[in-house]
Amino acid sequence: MSELLLSGKDVSQAIREEIKQEVERLKAVNLQPGLAVVLVGEDPASQVYVRNKHKACLELGYYSEVHRLPEDTTEEQLLELVHKLNEQETIHGILVQLPLPAQIHEKAIIDAIAVHKDVDGFHPVSVGNMVLGDDSLLPCTPAGVIEILKRYNLEIAGKHAVVIGRSNIVGKPVSLLLQRENATVTMCHSRTSNMKELTQQADILIVAIGKAKFIDASYVKPGAVVIDVGMNRLDNGKLAGDVDFDSVRELSSAITPVPGGVGPMTITMLMHNTLKAAKRIHQIEV
């Protein structure tokens, strides 16, 4: 079987071209989407992601603010900044880069972000709207997974999708979004006893467990579509997914690589959400 390589990089580029054109149109009504990204501390990976978010804003013609706060920032100080950004008219999207230092409660910060500016889609009201199927800003990585499937014209409706991992950021939301697209969804996690039996039935297999190269060919049904959401830094410095790509690629009908698969979609969907938030705030048809 000759597999199709699902390039999140290519899909990202196509979406960014569409966004650029929309930003151009919005100039006519004097609207420039604005994103504020807040980084607390010195985590090296977070610094790269935040820089890339700023670069994406510049590339697309957004207004961009990056707030870099010291590692010992208190919860109160961070809340104060979030409250200020909630009120700031030039800002339509607020993103607080995760993880946060231990002294700050993630939930307290996420809960403080104005729902209409919650471009991460992590606020409980955004999550609730997603569960209900109402319009909301969708979490970026799960939305990116759905977008890859759609842009490659891979059928979701009626398929059996198996999701491995039940995190709030990926596993749970991606399961809901697949169900919304009319897939039949099975969720697996660390306590699932018959994991292989289930994954071998998957037409679409979504892997988000955080264990490098964990899923080999023995888990995969021939012809399955395999989406790898894993990002594990190996001792040699290289990035590996949760899927053993070399073992699975020939068996699958389509597969995302790591890097260059789901990863690049995260920032692109953030840009999509920021545009959507800006249009909603200014009551421009979405």
Ligand X SMILES: Nc1nc2c(c(=O)[nH]1)N[C@@H](CN(C=O)c1ccc(C(=O)N[C@@H](CCC(=O)O)C(=O)O)cc1)CN2
Provide the annotated binding site for NADP(+). 165-167
Q: Which does 34 bind (CB under 5 to 8 A by kind): ligand X, Mg ion, none?
A: none
Pick the closer one to ligand X by CB: 198 or 229.
229
Cα-Cα-Cα-Cα torsion 66, 72, 77, 78, nearest 10 degrees, comes to: 50
**Using rule CB under 6 A, residue 176 touches ligand X:** no
* Catalytic annotation, pick one of 53, 159, 172, 279: 53
Q: How far apart (Å, rounded) are the C-alpha atoms in residues 202 and 221?
A: 7
Is 21 tagged catalytic? no
- The window from 65-73, 89-97, 127-135, 194-202 that contacts ligand X (CB under 6 A) reads 89-97
Q: Is 95 in the site for ligand X (CB under 6 A)?
A: yes
Q: Give which of 117, 40, 45, 75 is closest to 280, Cα–Cα.
A: 117
Bond from prior residue into 124 cis (ω within 30 degrees of 0): no
Q: Which does 49 bind (CB under 5 to 8 A by kind): Mg ion, ligand X, none?
A: ligand X
Q: What are phi and psi of 65, to 5 degrees?
A: -125, 130
Q: CB under 5 to 8 A by kind: which of ligand X, Mg ion, none does 230 bind? A: none
Q: What is the C-alpha radius of gyration for the chain, rounded to an integer number of angstroms?
A: 19
Give me the least distance between CB of 177 and ligand X, in Å please. Answer: 15
Closest CA to 141 of 286, 265, 35, 251: 265
Catalytic annotation on 200? no
| Residue nearest ligand X, CB atom distance | 263
**26 vs 229, which CB is nearer to ligand X?**
229
Considering only residues 5, 66, 79, 98, which one is a binding residue for ligand X as defined by CB under 6 A? 98
Q: Give the three-state DSSP class for 145.
A: helix
How large is the angle between the packed helices 8-26 and 44-60, nearest 10 degrees? 50
* Residues in region 216-235 near Mg ion by CB under 5 A: none
Cβ atoms < 10 Å from Cβ of 206? 29
Active site residue 216: no
Residues in the chain: 286
Residues forming the active site:
53, 97, 120
The residues of the shown chain that bind ligand X, judged by CB under 6 A, are 49, 95-98, 120, 140-141, 231, 239, 258-260, 263-264, 266-267
